[in-house]
Structure 1
Amino acid sequence: MRALISAVLTSISLLASTPVSAVPSAQAPAPPGRQDSPQTAAKPERNPDDGWFFYRDPREEEKKKTPPPKPAVPAAPTDMSEKVGSAEWIQKNLPRIMMDAINNPKDREKVELYGYVQKLAMDKSEQFANTYIRVMSANPALDETISNPTSTFALRELDSKRDTERAAVLQEIAKTTGLWYFFRSDCPYCHRQNPLLDLLQQDSGISILPISLDHQPLQDGSYPNWVADSGQGQYLGVTSTPTLFMVHPSTGQLVSLAVGQRSLPDIERRIIEISRDQNWIDEATYQRAMKGMPQRFITDAFDPSSIDDPNDPKQVLDALRRAGMHGEAQQAATLDDLQKATGSNATPWKGSE
């Protein structure tokens, strides 16, 4: 018994003298599902050159080189390439001066500058307009109110003259042309068109050939001398009534005049326009009918080859004056100059001198 107790005590003393680090520690089993894989459990290889620092500062990223800031663009200076106050100078600088004043509304000088430049532009414009009106009214070649009057009494007189000339021109056209009138017997628009065609025929004397597309006469009894369509309508593509064609027998030309019901002035105008377009009348006759008088255009008489130096304003003006309504007529003169030029008393109310 004593031997057993002695052996136990000896074992206890041996355990007490053994270092703690030498005793293997019991490792608790990892909970299920939390076992580390060999890849994650393995410690990363250490680079001997790194030393024993536990933390390494990350390498500083190279700072991107930022471009230097662009210098502020100063406000555009006033363009002095043109004469200050000229139209070119105002056109180039007025918008900038205006925006500068708007952006600096408390700057009285900038606002005042804009006001003066704006007033300068308006004054120059008004002076030009006044001179333009005086020059146009004093020059018959440039005065549009001669051919296009604006006063009431002049317009009334022009309308009367135009009606007279138009009737005369239509009578001239009627001597060499005629109308083909395509209709249907039951066409209501044809019945309304018939009285207008009767007036046209009475006033101008133009011949009208009525052609029935359905081979039946008009229900109102108009145009008893009608003829049945024998293919002309189909050949000309007539699908609606009334339809009018203008015929020029000497040349054999056929031109569409109107489709559908038209007013008498519209038909007369179309007859004149087609006649001019087909050269059945000349330009002067056309202008008489449309304007009441022959029109003269500067382009008809302007001769650019008469100008030696196109950059010389005087030569260009002289060439345009020659092409004007009164040719090289004096725009202004004195009574003494007129008397010297004619060699006689040009001012009879002054008496003989």
Structure 2
Amino acid sequence: MPVHASKAAWRLLAACAIANAACGLPPAKAQMTTAQTDALPRAETDERQDSFYCAERRLGYWFYCNRPKPPEQKSPAPAASATSQLDAITATLRELKAKAILEPTPANVTAYIRFQRAQLDRASLFSDVWQRAIWQDPELDYTLQRPVSTLGKRQWQDSRSAERNAAMAQLSERYGLFYFFAQSCGACEVMSPIVQSVASTWHIAVRAISTDGGPSRHFPNYTVETNQRSRMGLEPKVTPAVVLWDAQTGRPIPIGYGVMSADELQDRIYLLTSKEAGRDY
């Protein structure tokens, strides 16, 4: 066999032996070798690279030898509340107004007018949206309870009068009137016929009481006061005074002092006897 052929044969045999040894490794060992190779600490690799570039090659001028820190993420500032924004607008308006008054230059006056006009536009927009919201939501529309238009008000007043008259027709079954007057009282001369008219219309018993002992041509069957107003808890020095007496509960219900129209007197009696506080407003 030639020498060259012998050397080639030995080389082939060595290569086959190495290949067989590599191929003969168990799968687990092969995977472990790969895992160990991949599990090299990246920190050590980075340190070696930094040492190579920064220490040996001295390339710190062109490379970051000290890694830059990531920028700090600042949390966004909280949004200003609506109240603080409105306060700021008011403060700005007052400042511009004061400056325009104290230094009335064209620039200062113009700045105040422009800012004021912007706020008037803002207020007009609010008013418009307010009105539209009321139109579209009947629960917000107070005019359904108390109309303000001429036609709606007339209809409401007619309905209210009918309801009041129905209540007044049943009033005499439970209530009576105390009417305190004085002969020397000019307002009593005006109020006495009104009380007499309302009582006659609804057949309500009236007990007229003279606070000074003087007579009344409208109530000839009057009586002189014997401290009734104090016992009822009324103001003792004011006349005329009208008090409704509840015979069922035995308590007085003051209606009012001074001169009242017949319609107002009936309204007060109706409200105090038929409506709870807060139900009619």
TM-score scaled to structure 1, two decimals? 0.43
Match of 2:228 among 211, 232, 255: 232
Residue pairs, 1:194-273, within 5 angstroms: 194-212=192-210, 218=216, 220=217, 222-227=218-223, 229=225, 232=228, 238-239=236-237, 241-273=239-271
With over 3 angstroms needed to count, the CA separation of the structure-2 counterparts of 1:206 and 1:121, relative to structure 1, is: same
Following the alignment from structure 1 to structure 2, what is the Cα–Cα distance between the partners of residues 130 and 94? 22
Amino acid at match of 1:283: E
Structure 1 residue runs without a partner (length 5+): 1-80, 292-353
Structure 2 residue runs without a partner (length 5+): 1-78
Per-residue deviation, residues 158-205 of structure 1 (Å, max 9, x unmatched): 222222222223334443211122345676654543321232123333
Q: Which residue of 2 aligns with 1:150?
A: 148
Following the alignment from structure 1 to structure 2, what is the Cα–Cα distance between the partners of residues 243 and 117? 56
With over 3 angstroms needed to count, the CA separation of the structure-2 counterparts of 1:164 and 1:113, relative to structure 1, is: same
Q: Which residue of 1 aligns with 2:133?
A: 135
| Contact 1:82–1:89 (Cα < 8 Å) also in 2 | no
| Contact 1:170–1:204 (Cα < 8 Å) also in 2 | yes
Q: Which residue of 1 aligns with 2:178?
A: 180
Amino acid at match of 1:268: Q
Amino acid at match of 1:209: R
Following the alignment from structure 2 to structure 1, what is the Cα–Cα distance between the partners of residues 117 and 230? 69
Q: Which residue of 2 aligns with 1:67?
A: none
Residue pairs, 1:73-112, within 5 angstroms: 90-91=89-90, 93-95=92-94, 105=105
With over 3 angstroms needed to count, the CA separation of the structure-2 counterparts of 1:214 and 1:153, relative to structure 1, is: same
Which has the greater radius of gyration? 1
Following the alignment from structure 2 to structure 1, what is the Cα–Cα distance between the partners of residues 86 and 227? 68
| Contact 1:169–1:285 (Cα < 8 Å) also in 2 | no
TM-score scaled to structure 2, two decimals? 0.52
Following the alignment from structure 2 to structure 1, what is the Cα–Cα distance between the partners of residues 88 and 257? 57
With over 3 angstroms needed to count, the CA separation of the structure-2 counterparts of 1:96 and 1:170, relative to structure 1, is: same
Matched, 1:283 2:276: yes
With over 3 angstroms needed to count, the CA separation of the structure-2 counterparts of 1:119 and 1:217, relative to structure 1, is: closer
- Kindly tell me the number of residue pairs found equivalent between the two proteins: 199
| Structure with higher helix content | 2
Q: Which residue of 2 aligns with 1:193?
A: 191
Q: Deviation at 1:153?
A: 1.8
| Contact 1:176–1:250 (Cα < 8 Å) also in 2 | yes
